[in-house]
Amino acid sequence: MLIGIEEHWVLPELTAALAGRDDSLAFNDLGDHQERLQDLGEGRIATMDEQGIDIAVLAQTPPGTQALPAGEAVRLSRVANDVAARAVSRHPTRFRALSTLPMSAPHEVADELKRAADLGHVGTMVYGRSGDLLLDDPVYDDFLTAAEALRQPVFLHPQLPSNALRDASYRGFDPMTDLALATFGWGWHVDAGLAALRLILRGTFDRHPDLQVVLGHWGEVLLFWVDRADSLARVAGLERSVSDYLRSNFHITTSGMLNPALLRHALSVTTADRLIFSTDYPFQHPTREQITAFLDEFAADADREKFMSGNASALFGI
């Protein structure tokens, strides 16, 4: 069995509400992305069959509802979670879903997480910042407490950096190069890795030892910087090293980046028990042949099976 856990979809009503609020929405309109994102039925399943993927875990495209005012975020998060739950109910052997949460309404987040879990959502996808609030802000501790108690893994996905950061670091070229630099070329991944590192430094996993976080794109740069990041743990007075938290509280996905060198590096930092397959559909769209060739890079059959489905099944209760 092969499970992909970062397979995106989009709610048209949410896209309309986000118009003008997030430049990265432009990527949803490239090629046939919009058609693929809105398809929660037979077309998506046909593509999964072509790739050899048995189960897709559906998740909203960035920025979810986090860029919206609180009231609108609450309403559209509920709509998105209801729509995703219906898609899963129509295709229960092929789909699961991650919830969308109204992070701009911090005191509503835990309740919506619980409601979504009751609907059958197997985890949630959030981003490192909502307005000026960072994910490690104490205002979100009720959410993290609920995620731990409900055994809802938190997928920490990249998002567009703030305008202030874009002005300071990501502009000065033509508009498309500016956007690419701030997103898939660099900024998305540094932003998400920093959000994860801040959660660690805040002592989140000392307070919530059973909380599980998922990072895409081979750990959003963080796996490549653990030697230096471990020094931060001593300065911050943490109980363990950053790399220890990565091995106990984080799972890492491929996000369609099927590069054997990245696999080898990830296995030098964490274990095969922490690696999970994903394609980042439809933004990455590997063929069955490419997927099969990558799976052959695993030296041990047991590790390959964990990566393909065992780890995702255990983490998300699939």
Residue 35, token pair as written in the block: 């058609």
Q: What is the pLDDT of residue 151?
A: 98
HSE-up of residue 151 (Cα within 13 Å, Cβ side): 7
Instruction: Decide: 125 and 60 in contact? Cβ < 8 Å.
Output: yes
- CA–CA dist 318, 213 (Å, integer): 17
Which DSSP category does 134 fall into? E
Instruction: Decide: 135 and 156 in contact? Cβ < 8 Å.
Output: yes
* Ordered per-residue pLDDT tens for the chain, 318 residues: 999 999 999 999 999 999 999 999 999 999 999 999 999 999 999 999 999 999 999 999 999 999 999 999 999 999 999 999 999 999 999 999 999 999 999 999 999 999 999 999 999 999 999 999 999 999 999 999 999 999 999 999 999 999 999 999 999 999 999 999 999 999 999 999 999 999 999 999 999 999 999 999 999 999 999 999 999 988 999 989 999 999 999 999 999 999 999 999 999 999 999 999 999 999 999 999 999 999 999 999 999 999 999 999 999 999
CB count within 10 Å of CB 25 equals 18
Tokens 């050899």, located at residue:
52
Closest CA to 198 of 174, 232, 226, 164: 232
Residues labelled as active-site residues: 280
DSSP-assigned letters across all residues of 270-316: S-GGGEE----TTTS---HHHHHHHHTT-SSHHHHHIIIIIHHHHHH
Residue 257, token pair as written in the block: 């980046």
In the β-sheet with 154-157, what is the strand arrangement from edge to edge? 3-9, 55-60, 95-100, 123-127, 154-157, 213-215, 250-253, 275-276
Tokens 């709509």, located at residue:
79
Residue 53, token pair as written in the block: 């993927």
Cα torsion 168, 20, 173, 160 to 10°: value is: 50
Kindly report the pTM of this predicted structure: 0.97
Q: What is the pLDDT of residue 251?
A: 98
Given 3-state DSSP classes, what are the helix, strand and coil percentages for the chain, each rounded to the nearest 5? 55, 15, 30
